[in-house]
Homo-oligomer: A and B are copies of this chain.
Amino acid sequence: MTEGRRALVVGGGDVSTRRVRALLEGRAVVILVSPDATPELAERAAAGQIAWRRGRWRESDLEGIDLVLAAVDQRDVSVAICEASRARRIPVHVADDPPLCDFYFAATLRDGPIQVAISTGGAGPALAGRLRDRIRSALPPGAGRAVERFGRLRAAVREAMPRDDQSKARMRWLTAYGRGAEWSDLEALDDDRIAALAREAARASAEQGLA
């Protein structure tokens, strides 16, 4: 959910470096405010991947910002950032200080279009990482590709049944198919088979008088 969102990162240390990495992965627009920065952050700024205003945080840094991440070593500064952000209804996260957080970073894993986020509600990243490892092992092999193919099928069914009054019939067919299919069969769907299935969906729904 950070794609295209403007994230203000206050502080240029190791924690901020990890946050910036995650934000860039999530395709956020990153603005760093800090008097100094780790070599990685300085390089990213030099390469134009992030904007870096060298200096201490000030309230005007919040203008046009969609979320705020603070990782500074002085608690009074953290509190000021948190209060100013909340006053503007901008979600804020202060590192290592759950009461000053409106959201927490989740441990995440990806497989193609599948994204799993594991949050422990601020209890700390160590356990979230262990849960992630368990969850990774629980996903069916090829799940990412299977979901990608199913997304193509969904788009094809939409094309085959495009009318507003067909939306319920589309959803009903897709849900039934998605629940019943084997993961390995979904993974094996090629474009021809997807086109054939979409035609079948439209015909079956019409015959049942659903659309």
Contact = CB atoms under 8 A, between A and B. Distances in A.
A174 B134 contact: no
Interface in A69-105: 73-75, 89, 91, 96, 98, 102-103
Contact of A143 (B131, B146, B186): B131
A147 B130 CA distance: 11
A47 interface: no
Given A89-B66, A102-B3, A116 B117 contact: yes
A154 B125 CA distance: 11
Contacts of A204: none
Which of under 10, 10 to 19, 20 to 34, or 35 or more describes the interface residues of A? 35 or more
25 contacts: A1-B1, A3-B102, A73-B165, A73-B167, A96-B167, A96-B170, A96-B171, A106-B117, A113-B122, A114-B118, A114-B120, A114-B131, A115-B117, A116-B117, A117-B117, A117-B119, A120-B150, A120-B151, A121-B147, A122-B151, A123-B147, A124-B150, A127-B147, A131-B139, A134-B140
Interface of A: 1, 3-5, 66, 73-75, 89, 91, 96, 98, 102-103, 106, 113-127, 129-131, 134-135, 137-140, 143, 146-148, 150-151, 154, 164-165, 167, 170-171, 174-175, 177-179, 186
